[in-house]
Amino acid sequence: MKWVLFKRVLRAGVLDFSRNAFVSIASILVMTVTLFTVGMTIFAGVILGSALQELRDKADVNVYFTTQAPEDRILEMKASLEALPEVASVQYLSRDEALAQFRDRHKNDQLTLQALDELPDNPLGAVLNVKAKDISQYETIATFLQDQQTQDGASSVIDKINFYDEQHRAALERLQYITNSAQVLGRWIVGILILITLAISFNTLRLAIYTSRDEIQVMRLVGAGALYVRGPFIVEGILYGLVAGVITLLIFYPLTWWLGGPTGNFFGGVNVFSYYVSHFFSIFGIIIGTGVVLGAAASWLAVQRYLKI
């Protein structure tokens, strides 16, 4: 009995979908706009996340060692830093490498290079470049290093920790503020856009069901159950979501291909076309799933007001 009822509901929903061509096309178009907005928020989130990560990667803390610091002691401190849960990576720069980088940075400053050549020995010590997992964790890392320096006392091999330079610390704080603000603003914009498009889509489906209000009331008067009345409209809403989802995915293929190059060059190296292709099944699930759930839920709610007789 239940299987027969299910087949009748399914058949009625498919017939209504194909019979009301104008209403179906209008609903599918609005649903496509909704799902397109959902998809664009996915890509916008990926681009924003990549751009913010690129900014975070520019942040670091440098530990400068004295010229007399033994290499084994520096490597020991490097291992201690790598063991910290806040640390993402530690790069060791020897004295010779530090000198080579200094020369490269000042290759156009002949006066500085000449003065450097006149020195009897390399004036630069080794350096540890420390990157944290999050910008807010640099203070914890700097405190750890300062504790190490205090414990060693006069025999400390650490010459300077640039986190405590006023300009460097201010730059890290400003960077953290920018990234946090961008994330919050991005979430608000995405949330508002999705709510607006969902409201438009919901009202369009309500309008589509409004045209069948008399039919619903007649079915209720002759004793049809609420589930039997709702069923065809829910099937219709699901079909709107499925068709709109497929159209949206087809639109995204040429669009992301066209935008792939510019986004790869200007937004943190993320090529949206490559991301779309490599994450297609995830995006497919989100777009189609959103369309199906939205179509079914909107139809369920829209029919509710006409079930009361």
**CA–CA separation, 125 vs 127, rounded Å?**
7
Residue range 67-156 in CATH 3.30.70.3040? yes
Q: How is the chain split into domains, by residue range?
A: 2-55+176-304, 67-156
> What mean pLDDT is predicted for residues 89-102?
82
Q: Alpha carbon 102 to chain centroid distance?
A: 37
Q: Which residues contact 186 (CB under 8 A, 6 or more apart)?
A: 44, 45, 48
Residue 172 contacts residue 59 (beta carbons within 8 Å): yes
* C-alpha distance from residue 110 to each of 106, 123, 157, 229, 268 (Å): 8, 17, 31, 86, 35
Percent above pLDDT 70 for the chain: 73
> What mean pLDDT is predicted for residues 225-230?
63
Band (pLDDT 50/70/90 cuts) for residue 258 is confident
pLDDT single digits (tens) 14-29: 666 566 667 777 778 8
**CA–CA separation, 7 vs 79, rounded Å?**
67
Q: Which residue has the higher pLDDT, 262 or 279?
A: 279
* Radius of gyration in angstroms for the set of CA atoms belonging to the chain, rounded to a whole number: 31
pTM of the full predicted structure? 0.67
**CA–CA separation, 75 vs 60, rounded Å?**
18
**CA–CA separation, 243 vs 8, rounded Å?**
21
**CA–CA separation, 267 vs 257, rounded Å?**
15
Rounded to 5 degrees, what angle do the CA atoms 298, 300, 302 make? 65
Percent above pLDDT 90 for the chain: 4
